[in-house]
Structure 1
Amino acid sequence: MKHLDDLLLLGDPRLYETCEPVLESELPLVAGWVADLHNVMEEIRAKYQFGRGIAAPQLGIMKRLIYLNIDRPIVIINPELATVSNEKNELWDDCMSFPNLLVRVQRHCSLTLTYRDEQWKSHAWEVTDWPLSELIQHEYDHLNGVLCTMRAINEQSFRWRPTPS
């Protein structure tokens, strides 16, 4: 089982790599990967009081796999952004790989995501909810070796996270 100490941190070269698709033959491995992602996300939540999603490469699993857990767990295998809205919003983004840093970025307000689930069933998910759309884009970027630091609006778009009380 992977733990918080296994989380790749800003500067680790693996965070900048493009991930390989999960193969159907690798489905038996997905449950273990998801258990590791879930465990590390729970440890982040306990320590830093944030965390709605995590991408496999953040644990050195260089596969196109995202785990979300907002109101329920969602496993997203081999996602593709089918469409994105022209309209964008700005936000202070955070990341488990640099938990004390916030980065001002722009993200699309809505999107359509195609992906497979842990039973290899295909889905097309139209996401019009802003916080969820933003989260999916953040995690999707991880699969392509893109960190929110690389999407900063400008050089003043960085700040330290306030310490939880």
Structure 2
Amino acid sequence: MKTIADIVLLGDPRLYEQCAPVLEQELPLVAGWVADLHTVMEDIRTTYHFGRGIAAPQIGVMKRLVYLHLDGQPRVLLNPELIELSEASFELWDDCMSFPNLLVRVQRHQQVTIRYRDEHWQPHSWTVRDGISELLQHECDHLDGILCTMRAIDTQSFRWRPTPAPT
């Protein structure tokens, strides 16, 4: 079982690699990968007090897999693909589990539609706005080896997150 100690940190070359698709014959492996992603995300939430989604390369699994846990509901996205991006955009301070104390000011599409398969290999399409739109763009970027540091609005778009009090 992976833990927060297994998170792939900024500077690790794996974060800059494009991930391979999950193949249907790899479905038996997905449950284990998802369990690891869930455990690591919960560790991040406990330690840093943020985390709604995590991409497989952040734990060293170089597959096109994103795990979300929103409002108590888990969602597994295999081979996600952003298929529609709104022209409207917004700016925000983005964070990342691979560099949890750094915030990066980025611009993201206000609305996106994503196509993916679930853990049962069923196809889905999902249209989201605002915060979830930003989250999906961030996680899909990870699958393509793109970090939010590479999407910074300018050279002044970085700041440290205050260190959370120990719990």
What is the TM-score normalised by the length of structure 1? 0.98
What is the TM-score normalised by the length of structure 2? 0.97
CA RMSD of the aligned region, Å? 0.6
What are the within-5 Å matches in structure 2 for residues 37-116 of structure 1? 37-71=37-71, 72-116=73-117
Partner of 1:23: 23
Unaligned runs of 5+ in 2: none
How far off its partner does 1:88 sit?
0.5
| Percent identity (aligned) | 70
SS in 1 for 2:5: helix
Counterpart-to-counterpart distance in 1, 2:3 and 2:122: 29
How far off its partner does 1:10 sit?
0.2
Counterpart-to-counterpart distance in 2, 1:22 and 1:91: 31
SS in 2 for 1:74: strand
Counterpart-to-counterpart distance in 2, 1:33 and 1:7: 13
Corresponding letter in the other structure for 1:136? L
Counterpart-to-counterpart distance in 2, 1:56 and 1:103: 21
How far off its partner does 1:163 sit?
2.1
How far off its partner does 1:164 sit?
2.2
Counterpart-to-counterpart distance in 2, 1:158 and 1:70: 26
How far off its partner does 1:127 sit?
1.1
Counterpart-to-counterpart distance in 2, 1:98 and 1:164: 14
Corresponding letter in the other structure for 1:115? Y
SS in 2 for 1:77: strand
How far off its partner does 1:155 sit?
0.3
Give 4+ residue runs of structure 1 displaced > 3 Å after superposition: none
How far off its partner does 1:162 sit?
1.5
Cα deviation, 1:72-99, whole Å, max 9, x if unaligned, reads 0000000111100000000000000000
Unaligned runs of 5+ in 1: none
Cα deviation, 1:103-158, whole Å, max 9, x if unaligned, reads 00000000110000000000011113x11000000000000000000000000000
